[in-house]
Homo-oligomer: A and B are copies of this chain.
């Protein structure tokens, strides 16, 4: 379910975090649902258990999942958390756009890119 891009510079544990958040935002993982155990997830996607552990802990710290000792990890029911995630994404966009602007990228080109991305999405739905 989660694809790791080994060539990418974004750390594997980051990709894991974003992957799970995405699956939740798509409703593929619903509140209360149990996640694969650290070991299962690790062997599934061919990753060191430490890496999965790190991702789960970050997700728990952000309130997206919760862990029950001896039982496993579950998608958190908490709804209001989502806004925090969106804000993080928004900040990343802001930072990248600011850098591009400083390089001289005109606003029109940024707008065109944004349009393209959201057009792709509405088509694949």
Chain A residues at the B interface, C-beta cutoff of 8 Å: 6-7, 11, 18, 21-22, 25-26, 61, 66, 68-69, 71, 82, 85-86, 89-90, 92-94, 96-105, 107, 109-111, 113-114, 116-118, 120-121
Contacts and interface: CB of A to CB of B under 8 A. Distances in A.
B61 A90 contact: no
Given A94-B113, A113-B93, A114-B114, A21 B103 contact: yes
B68 A22 contact: no
Residue in A25, A85, A92 with the greatest tally of chain B CB atoms within 10 Å: A92
Contact of A100 (B61, B68, B90): B90
A38 to B, nearest CB: 16
Contacts of A114: 93, 97, 107, 110-111, 114
Residue of A11, A89, A94 with most chain B CB atoms under a 10 A cut-off: A89
8 contacts: A18-B102, A25-B104, A85-B103, A86-B109, A90-B100, A92-B96, A92-B100, A107-B118
B113 A90 contact: yes
Given A71-B6, A110-B114, A113-B94, A100 B105 contact: no
B117 A97 contact: yes
